[in-house]
Amino acid sequence: MSTTDTSPEPDLRTDDYDRMLDTLDDAIEQLTEKIENGRIRDPERDKVRMKMYRTIGYLIRTRRQVMEDATLQELEAEIEELKADSDPTLSDVVDD
């Protein structure tokens, strides 16, 4: 394998949900391609393919969790914005 075939270093930062989702989508797509189009001619390669299936399941679960975290963060920001914009007299009524 030549040096031009190597994959770039993954971006493992966790501060940007969109970037994390893009990275997970790329990994899922690449792994799916290998699973669907890779040739298996011996039992050892079949074991590798099964590990790939487990890995893709893990990546999909991770992607779902990242999406949920991003949604929760957006909802928290909206709630805080609504609290800041609300009439102080209404918050007294709601809190009671």
CA nearest to 82, candidates 90, 72, 17:
90
pLDDT in tens, 24-33: 888 888 888 8
* pLDDT value for 72: 93
Q: In this model, does residue 20 exceed pLDDT 70?
A: yes
- Tell which wins on pLDDT, 4 or 60: 60
Per-residue pLDDT band for 78 (boundaries 50, 70, 90) equals very high
Q: How far is CA 9 from the centre of its chain?
A: 17
Q: Token digits for 18?
A: 């969109």
Answer yes or no: are the C-beta atoms of 66 and 20 closer than 8 Å.
Answer: yes
Alpha-carbon torsion (56, 62, 63, 64), positive or negative: positive
Q: Token digits for 20?
A: 């994390």
Report, as an integer, the average pLDDT of 65-78. 91
CA nearest to 26, candidates 37, 2, 10:
10
